[in-house]
Amino acid sequence: MDGVNVLTQDVVIPGDSYRYQFGVPDAGTYWYHSHYLSYDQVSRGLFGAFIVEEQNAPAVDHDIVVQFFDVLLDQSGQYDEAFNPAHFATEGRIGNTVTALVFNGTGKTVKRGDRLRLRLINPSIDRVYRVGLDGLIGKIVALDGMPLAHPRTLEPILLAPGQRCDVIGDATGPIRFDDSFGEQTLSLGEIAVSGSREPAKAPITALPANRMPAPKDPGQTAELVLQGGAGSASHNGTGTWALNDVSGLPRRPFLSAAQGTTARISIRNETGFPHVMHLHGHHFWELDAAGEAGPYRDSTYLDTGETRDILVVLDNPGSWMLHCHMLSHQADGMATWIRVG
Ligand SMILES: [Cu+2]
């Protein structure tokens, strides 16, 4: 029930229907989207938030989903149908209109002093944000749906396509979102505030932990080299982008392992652009330079020239895509897959 055509299911053709049935073992902030021609269909809005609630959720006054979404509009304000092939070879199809889509499940107005849970999601096809928050004193409590054992200080959050971040905090005024990833700081939108109350006294603590597999010494290691794009060295793939000299899904998986294997994958970005590598069906630990495990997430951001090792317990049997979540890059070659079990 992973929704990847070619690999695990057929496309759902116009007029047809398909019933997805699956368990939701991990509480947290997720999202769903079309995985077919996704650079086009997601950019037209075929996505949504998918929230799995905790059994014992922390007490908050508002639980708010905020999706940062950009779209390319033409001069008449319509979706720009003109596809510029150059977008596929560079940083992707970056929109000229950026919005924070805010959904407050309680439907109530936020007061100064209210405690908020913000579920930040980046469903944009290619745009990376560095999200700053004004008007909130709080902590970062989860990344890519998974609770942080130790909540982090709230500072601007790098949010690459597909990534999520949960923040819990108390409103001190209108909550304003801005993006400082590019050269200019962009205003993304705000949550209005009206009235006030005594702020909650309870400290902000870690979310209840999800069940997590225990990693062993890696039974398998692999290297994944990100190649291609404008101005980079040539590779042997047939598309603009390639992973280990192959563009698009290879006939054989990049990695095949027995269920339960711990794998360490070293990802090296040899291109002139950043990427965000997303693994289906699993979360993984980002390892730091010393090999220490960092956050447990499902999408990892790599700047130009950067290398990151990830450690993953392959406990979910099936065929799983591993691809750049900048969907223009995925469309032009930056995708592979693994097989578990
Ligand atoms: Cu990419």
Residues 6+ apart with CB under 8 A from 60: 115, 116, 117, 168
Cα–Cα distances (Å) from 326 to 38, 232, 276, 287, 338, in that order, read 10, 18, 7, 22, 19
| Distance from residue 296's CA to the centre of ligand 1 (Å) | 20
Domain identity same for 277 and 240: yes
| Distance from residue 93's CA to the centre of ligand 1 (Å) | 11
Instruction: Determine, yes or no, domain membership for 19.
Output: no
| Distance from residue 305's CA to the centre of ligand 1 (Å) | 13
Domain identity same for 162 and 240: no
DSSP of 84-123, one letter per residue? -THHHHTT----SEEEEEEEETT-PPEEET-EEEEEEE--
Cα angle 321-325-330, degrees, rounded to a multiple of 5 = 70
| Distance from residue 168's CA to the centre of ligand 1 (Å) | 30
Domain identity same for 188 and 240: no
| Distance from residue 129's CA to the centre of ligand 1 (Å) | 15
| Distance from residue 95's CA to the centre of ligand 1 (Å) | 16
**Looking at residue 17, what is its pLDDT?**
95
**Looking at residue 82, what is its pLDDT?**
82
Closest CA to 40 of 113, 131, 100, 126: 126
| Distance from residue 86's CA to the centre of ligand 1 (Å) | 14
| Distance from residue 290's CA to the centre of ligand 1 (Å) | 25
Residue-wise pLDDT tens digits, 44-58 = 999 999 999 999 999
**Looking at residue 73, what is its pLDDT?**
94
- Unique residue bearing structure tokens 């990534």: 163
Q: How many CB atoms lie within 10 A of CB 238?
A: 11
Instruction: Determine, yes or no, domain membership for 15.
Output: no
d(CA 218, CA 198): 51
| Distance from residue 113's CA to the centre of ligand 1 (Å) | 40
Retrieve residue 305's tokens.
């020239």
Domain identity same for 176 and 75: yes
| Distance from residue 202's CA to the centre of ligand 1 (Å) | 41
Count of domains in the chain?
2
| Distance from residue 84's CA to the centre of ligand 1 (Å) | 17
Q: Which amino acid is at 59?
A: A
| Distance from residue 146's CA to the centre of ligand 1 (Å) | 23
| Distance from residue 302's CA to the centre of ligand 1 (Å) | 9
Domain identity same for 235 and 319: yes
State yes or no: pLDDT of 126 exceeds 90.
Answer: yes
| Distance from residue 169's CA to the centre of ligand 1 (Å) | 32
Instruction: Determine, yes or no, domain membership for 81.
Output: yes
Q: Pairing mode, if any, of strands 115-121 and 62-71?
A: parallel
State yes or no: pLDDT of 83 exceeds 90.
Answer: no
The pTM (predicted TM-score) of the whole model is 0.97
**Looking at residue 1, what is its pLDDT?**
83
**Looking at residue 199, what is its pLDDT?**
86
Structural domain of 129:
56-196
Closest CA to 276 of 267, 266, 263, 285: 267
**Looking at residue 214, what is its pLDDT?**
93
| Distance from residue 122's CA to the centre of ligand 1 (Å) | 15
Model confidence band, residue 124 (pLDDT cutoffs 50, 70, 90): very high
| Distance from residue 227's CA to the centre of ligand 1 (Å) | 10
Instruction: Determine, yes or no, domain membership for 281.
Output: yes
Q: In a 10 Å sphere around its CB, with 0-12 CB exposed, 13-18 middle and 19+ buried, how is residue 324 labelled?
A: buried
Instruction: Determine, yes or no, domain membership for 229.
Output: yes
Residue-wise pLDDT tens digits, 138-163 = 999 999 999 999 999 999 999 999 99
Which of 196, 211, 233 is at the close of a domain? 196
Residue-wise pLDDT tens digits, 297-315 = 999 999 999 999 999 999 9
| Distance from residue 88's CA to the centre of ligand 1 (Å) | 9
Model confidence band, residue 81 (pLDDT cutoffs 50, 70, 90): confident
| Distance from residue 330's CA to the centre of ligand 1 (Å) | 7
| Distance from residue 63's CA to the centre of ligand 1 (Å) | 31
| Distance from residue 326's CA to the centre of ligand 1 (Å) | 5
CATH of the domain at 190: 2.60.40.420
Instruction: Determine, yes or no, domain membership for 97.
Output: yes
Which of 164, 196, 228 is at the close of a domain? 196
Cα angle 39-325-123, degrees, rounded to a multiple of 5 = 70
State yes or no: pLDDT of 200 exceeds 90.
Answer: no
Residue-wise pLDDT tens digits, 214-270 = 999 999 999 999 999 999 999 999 999 999 999 999 999 999 999 999 999 999 999
**Looking at residue 86, what is its pLDDT?**
87
| Distance from residue 212's CA to the centre of ligand 1 (Å) | 28
**Looking at residue 107, what is its pLDDT?**
87
| Distance from residue 226's CA to the centre of ligand 1 (Å) | 8
| Distance from residue 136's CA to the centre of ligand 1 (Å) | 32
d(CA 208, CA 174): 28
